[in-house]
A and B are shown apart, each in its own frame.
Chain A
Amino acid sequence: MKNLPYQCNNKELAVEKNNRLPPDTTKLDRIVIIDEQPSYSQAFKLVLTRDLVIALRHKDDFLNPLLFFIIIVTLFPLGVGPDVSILSRIAPGIIWVAALLATLLSLDRLFKSDHLDGSLEQLLLSPQPLFILVLAKITAHWLITGLPLIIIAPLLAVLLHLDERSYSALFLTLLLGTPVLSLLGSIGVALTVGIKKGGVLLSLLVLPLYIPVLIFSTGAIDNAALGLPYSGQLAIIAALFFGSLTLAPFAVAAALKVSTN
C-alpha cells in the first residue's frame, strides 16, 4: 500500500466524513496532451467574481477610496466658505479632481496583492488569454471604486450647490469617465507592479493620461450649467472610453509580462 501512487495519507479522516473516499486516482488514464478552446466568458466571470468576493471581505478596498472622495469634497465648503456662487462655480472641478485622486489611491491594489502572493503568476500561466482576465480584473476594480463614486456624487453635488441643470451631465461624465480612469490606470499599475516602491512612479505615469478626461468632463458640466449642449465633450469621453476599453487590456497584458519577467 505504501508505494502506491496517488495514495492519500488520511484515509480514516476521509472515511469518517460521509464515508467518502478520496478519488481513486490509481486508475487514471495516461496523460494526454490537452488541446481545447477555453471559454472566454467563463474565464471572465470566474476572475470577476473572485475579485468581487475578495473586495467584499476586505472592505478597505472599496471603503477607502469612497471615504477619501467624500472627505475631499466635504472639506472644500469648509475651506472656501459657504458662498453659493463660488461653490457652484468650482463644484465640477472639485468632484472630478476628487474622483481622479480617489481612483489613483485605489489603483495600487489592482495587481499588487496578486503579485505579492503569487496568484499573478498563476493568472499569467493560465491557458485563458491574458487580456480577458485583465479585463475582468479592471471591471471588478471599476465596480468596487468607480460605481460607488457615481452613486454618491449627486449627494455631494448638493453640498456644493451644483447647478441643477448639471446633474445629468455630472452623472453621464462620471459614468463614461470613471471606467477610463480604471482602464488607463491599470496600464500604469501593470508597468510598476514589479517595483517595490512604485507609488510615486505610478502617479507620474498615470496622472497626465487622466488630464483629457478631467478637462472634457468639467467642460461638459460647465456647459450644462449654462444651458449649452455638451454632447461634443460627452462624445470625446465616450471615444476615450471605447478606445481604452479595446486597447488597454492588451497593453496591460503585455506590461504584466514585462514587469514579472
Chain B
Amino acid sequence: MTILAKKTLSPLISAKQLTCIREERLLFETLSVDIFAGDIVQIEGANGSGKTSLLRILSGLSQPYEGKVYFQQTNIEDCREQFQQNLLYLGHLAGIKGEMSAEENFSFNTALHGNQNCHHEDYLSCVNLCGFEDSLASHLSAGQHRRIALARLYQSQAAVWILDEPFTAIDKEGVASLEALFVGHAKRGGCVIMTTHQDLMTINSSTIKKVTLDYDYGSMRI
C-alpha cells in the first residue's frame, strides 16, 4: 500500500492528448488534464459537448480515439484491476435494480467493489433513506433511487470519484451535504471529477478546478 503524501507531485489521474469522436463528430481533441489528490474538478460544457464521453474515457469505460489516461503514471489499460479498486464511478444511470430493495442494492454494489459486511443502515440513513431499507427500489422516487447509489459515496474508500451529474433529482439539502462530502473527500486525499450544470453552493469556487469543453463542433465535422 502506498500512502499518498499531503500534496503528491505526481498526478493521481492524468489524461494526455485525448481526442474523442462520436457519430463522426469531433467532441474534443488534444485535451490534456492532470488531476491531483485533493482536487475537485468540475467539467463544464453545453449539452452534447462531450462531458459524459470524457468521464467515460477517464473511467476506462470508453476508449478515446487518440490519447491515453494514466493512473499514478501507469496507463489504466495496464493496471485495470488496481485502478478499478480505487475508482468509484456513478454514471447518469444509477445502476439500481428495481427488483431489489434499497438495502440489497446498496449491499450488492459495495460488496461488488470489495467491501463486505458494512452497516448498510448507517449509510442509507446518511442519504435520508431511513425506513426505506426494505422498500423495493422500483417503488421509490427518482431522487430516492439516486440516493441509493449516492450512499456508496459515504462508505467508499476509493480515491478517485467520477460522478456524472450527481445532483440530478436531489433536493437542496441533499446537494449541500453532498458538497460537504466532496470537500471532505478532497481533504482526505482523494479527488472528485464531476459534471453538473448547477453552481456549487457551499464549495469555495476558487478551490474547484474547471475543465470547459467548448469546442466548436458544429463547424468541425470530419
Contacts and interface: CB of A to CB of B under 8 A. Distances in A.
B32 to A, nearest CB: 22
Contacts of A261: 61-63
A123 B108 CA distance: 11
**Interface of chain A: mostly helix, strand, loop or mixed:** loop
- Chain A interface residue bracket vs B: 35 or more
A215 to B, nearest CB: 38
Interface in A66-91: none
B14 to A, nearest CB: 15
Contacts of A121: 61, 89, 91, 93, 95
A38 interface: yes
A32 B81 contact: no
Nearest to A25: B154
B125 A14 contact: yes
A5 B183 contact: yes
A54 interface: yes
B61 A22 contact: no
Interface stretch (A92-100, A126-134, A178-186, A234-242): A126-134
B33 interface: no
Contacts of A33: 1-2, 4, 72, 82, 86, 159
A11 B63 CA distance: 43
Interface stretch (A42-50, A162-170, A218-226): A42-50
Interface in B85-107: 85-87, 89, 91-100, 104
B188 A30 contact: yes
A257 to B, nearest CB: 9
A54 B61 contact: no
Interface residues of B, number: 64
Contacts of A13: 125, 128, 130-131
Interface in A4-50: 4-10, 13-14, 17, 20-23, 25-26, 28-36, 38, 42-43, 46-47, 50
A23 to B, nearest CB: 5
A123 B111 CA distance: 11
B1 A32 contact: yes
Contacts of A28: 188
Interface string B40-82: 0000000000000000000111110000000010000000011
Nearest to B89: A125
A28 B118 CA distance: 15
Nearest to A123: B112
B142 interface: no
Contacts of A175: none
B143 interface: no
B211 interface: no
A17 B37 CA distance: 37
A35 B82 contact: yes
A127 B81 contact: yes
Contacts of B183: 3, 5
B202 interface: yes
A31 B39 CA distance: 13
B154 A23 contact: yes
30 contacts: A4-B180, A5-B185, A6-B181, A8-B126, A9-B128, A9-B176, A10-B128, A13-B131, A22-B122, A22-B126, A23-B154, A30-B3, A30-B4, A30-B189, A33-B159, A34-B158, A35-B85, A38-B85, A50-B97, A57-B100, A117-B93, A121-B93, A122-B95, A122-B109, A125-B61, A126-B112, A127-B113, A260-B62, A261-B61, A261-B62
Given A117-B98, A127-B113, 20 more contacts: A3-B202, A9-B128, A9-B177, A13-B131, A17-B125, A23-B119, A28-B188, A31-B37, A32-B1, A32-B2, A32-B4, A32-B157, A34-B82, A46-B112, A53-B100, A54-B97, A57-B99, A125-B61, A128-B112, A261-B61
Interface of B: 1-4, 37, 59-63, 72, 81-82, 84-87, 89, 91-100, 104, 108-109, 111-114, 116, 119, 121-123, 125-126, 128, 130-131, 136, 154, 157-159, 173-174, 176-177, 180-181, 183-185, 187-190, 202
Of all A-B residue pairs in the complex, the 8 with the closest CB atoms, nearest first, are A5-B184, A118-B93, A118-B95, A127-B85, A119-B95, A122-B95, A31-B189, A14-B125
